[in-house]
Structure 1
Amino acid sequence: MSFTVEDGGILTTVQDTGRSGFRHLGIPVCGAMDSLAARIANLMLANEVSSPLLEYTLTGPTLRFHADTVICLTGGTVTARLEDQPVPCYQPVVVQAGQILKLGSIRQGCRGYLALKGGLHVDHIMQSASTYLRACIGGFHGRSLATGDNLPYIPYPLSPTLSIDWLPSQDLMYNTTPSAIRILPTTDHEQFSDDSWQTLFNQPFGIDNASDRMGYRLTGPTITRKDQTERLTQGVTLGTVQVPHDGHPIILMADSQPTGGYPVMGQVISVDIPRLAQMKPGDKLRFEPIELDNAQSLLRTQEQYLQRLSIAAGYKWKDIVHG
């Protein structure tokens, strides 16, 4: 069975945890921009964390389901209605055949995720279902969803009166206490003057309208490079902060290229990538340095949270199935 797209929303694509192992061939990892929200959506349904799901930007799609299933919405706070009834986020919700789910505007954040029990059934290209728009591969025909598309899934019937009202603790999910985006130092430190480092860590930057899944271009103060000479290409990855000739930093995101020739000021730590992914053009951000040991500790804490969530969700679904 499948659901029919009645409205594709803004940039709704199929994503998963990414296309690993092909960067040496020039293929980006891609995958969900907010990997934390995507993983939580699947874990809440006791899916594999790599199960394909939908990612939408700013405004979500409208879908008509043709078979019973269970869904979970995560990521940015979205106005969602199922047959005119409000749909909560971070909670499994039963959907019956024939019902219409309308995902409106994201009120807080930038990207939302929709997972289905059992995942979406789309072809895998290079071991991943993630959509790489520039190459038109993966996901649903390598493109964003449009009106009239039909995406298959395996039905999962449950009683519509069943209450699945448990919620995970969200205290550690986005680690929202710090307001700054934390970065690790790089070997290019000497490429920039002391004044440039003062600017990076003491001035706010904005996200430019030209930003996309490949990278966030930043507006605001310019960073001065000591040497404008072209340099040899080096490896870059998700979260790399590059400084091109114009002095306006670029933060590489999920669809980033494998290599780049611009000097690098830092690397955004893994636990802050989801917060960064939920920022949109016009939002402001600040940078803050962090030591590697602290970054690793934060990542371990987040992974421990996800492990606890996986165990708890597994027990919940066993109760539902056998209860």
Structure 2
Amino acid sequence: MTDRSIIGITAIKSEAESFSGLKVLKPGLSTTIQDLGREGYRSSGIAAGGAMDRYALRMANLLVGNEEGEAGLEVTLVGPELRVDTDLLISVCGAYLEPTIDGEELPMWRPVFVPRGAVLRFGRAVSGCRAYVAAAGGFGVPRELGSRSTDARAALGGLAGRRLAAGDALPCGAAQGAAAPSRWAAAWAAALSRQGEASAAKAPEGAGRRLPWAAAPWFAPPGAYGGDEDGIVLRAMPGSEHGQFSEAAREAFFRERYAIAPASDRMGCRLIGTPLARESRAELLSHGVTPGAVQVPPGGGPIILAADCQTTGGYPKIAHVATVDMPLLAQAKPGDTIRFQPVTLDEAQRLDRQREQDIRYLAAAIRSRQP
């Protein structure tokens, strides 16, 4: 290889790295790029996927001036270490995974300006299971079937269709492939940059160099989470095969407290508890299923289907979790306990409409905030 060829390869590599918004130093347990999913392909056997906690991702995007469905990072249980290679306006929503900027605690549920050279670190999940990181302008990975979401099983979307790995460079902010931040985001980034510089200049001598990062003084209160002191409560409607289970099983389903099994993942949440007996022994034809369906395989242990669930299944469905409570399921980690509360279809739809209205009001309130 000639010297000229070596120089050319080096230049290309240097140029690619210069367009990186975030560099992955450590990937964490499972960090992926997710948006709101690839809708319209379930009839072809392709799962919609997308963020497990759609509420947290939507809020994170609104807080940096993005469209709600823009791609962000989904961080699960043990978080990554990321180097910031360009000035960014970010937000972190969802589970609390001890986020820090160069060792200082990063405030959640608000816009945060992070300067080039800073290092974002996440620890273990103290509360919840999944956190979401949004950057103004989004992440500039290609769309596949209309979505940037990672489906690792199908090797589709995200960054090469897989979880992030050490050394990955993520285009975001002003990086190649990412959209330009909105005017609202640019104004907040500029104001918080000045605030960070003023704060850094006031740092006492001998305290070490403080990078000029800063967070907005206001935050968006999370409204999708709740439960009781004994665990998470999921409202659920009777499933299409609810009547095939014994009366004792139907009563137990809404009475028992189940534990989240370690084998749970983005395909489904497996529950540990009293097995549910089905009276009918007839085999079911494989039929369409969607996230939220509670299937009961022959062993009697319920499985709540999640974002990456298969498109068809033949296990009977005893219930279906209300859409409004799916963020609670996304934040349930192994060992947590949940119980089900009966709800009618009309009430579930009313709750969903109310949630959407709340998000619209909150989005308007966020847009009205000017630096």
TM-score by length of 1: 0.94
State the partner residue of 2:247.
194
Alpha-carbon distance in structure 2 between the residues aligned to 1:260 and 1:197: 21
State the partner residue of 1:164.
216
Shift, 1:175, TM fit: 4.6
- Whether the 8 Å CA contact 2:239–2:294 is kept in 1: the answer is no
Shift, 1:295, TM fit: 1.1
Shift, 1:176, TM fit: 4.1
- Whether the 8 Å CA contact 2:239–2:293 is kept in 1: the answer is no
- Whether the 8 Å CA contact 1:269–1:295 is kept in 2: the answer is yes
Q: Which whole-Å deviations, capped at 9, do the CAs of 1:53-76 have from their partners, x for residues lacking one?
A: 000111111111111111100000
Gap runs ≥5 in structure 1: none
Alignment of 1:156-305 (within 5 A): 158=190, 159-162=192-195, 164-170=216-222, 172-176=223-227, 179-305=232-358
State the partner residue of 1:17.
36
Alpha-carbon distance in structure 2 between the residues aligned to 1:142 and 1:200: 37
Larger radius of gyration: 2
- Work out which of the residue numbers 143, 148, 159 in structure 2 matches 1:129: 148
Alpha-carbon distance in structure 1 between the residues aligned to 2:227 and 2:340: 14
Alpha-carbon distance in structure 2 between the residues aligned to 1:129 and 1:107: 28
Shift, 1:236, TM fit: 0.8
State the partner residue of 2:4.
none
State the partner residue of 1:85.
104
- Whether the 8 Å CA contact 1:44–1:309 is kept in 2: the answer is no
Greater alpha carbon shift after TM alignment, 178-187 vs 8-17: 178-187
Alpha-carbon distance in structure 2 between the residues aligned to 1:7 and 1:169: 30
Alpha-carbon distance in structure 1 between the residues aligned to 2:233 and 2:367: 34
Q: Which whole-Å deviations, capped at 9, do the CAs of 1:289-309 have from their partners, x for residues lacking one?
A: 101122122112211111012
Greater alpha carbon shift after TM alignment, 67-76 vs 302-311: 302-311
Q: Which whole-Å deviations, capped at 9, do the CAs of 1:156-203 have from their partners, x for residues lacking one?
A: 652424352111233x32254694211111231221110111111111
Q: Which whole-Å deviations, capped at 9, do the CAs of 1:212-235 have from their partners, x for residues lacking one?
A: 100011111000011233211121
Q: Secondary structure at the match of 1:160?
A: helix
Q: Secondary structure at the match of 1:304?
A: helix
Alpha-carbon distance in structure 2 between the residues aligned to 1:189 and 1:129: 36
More helix by share: 2
Greater alpha carbon shift after TM alignment, 181-190 vs 107-116: 181-190
- Whether the 8 Å CA contact 1:15–1:32 is kept in 2: the answer is yes
Task: Give the partner amino acid of 2:221.
Answer: S
Alpha-carbon distance in structure 2 between the residues aligned to 1:8 and 1:161: 31
Structure with the bigger RCO (C-alpha within 8 Å, sep 6+) is: 1
State the partner residue of 2:113.
94
- Whether the 8 Å CA contact 2:224–2:327 is kept in 1: the answer is no
Shift, 1:263, TM fit: 0.8
State the partner residue of 1:113.
132
Structure 1 stretches of 4+ with a deviation exceeding 3 A read 175-179
Change beyond 3 A, Cα 1:134–1:294 = same
Alpha-carbon distance in structure 2 between the residues aligned to 1:98 and 1:72: 17
Percent identical across equivalent pairs?
A: 42
Task: Give the partner amino acid of 2:30.
Answer: L
Task: Give the partner amino acid of 1:301.
Answer: Q
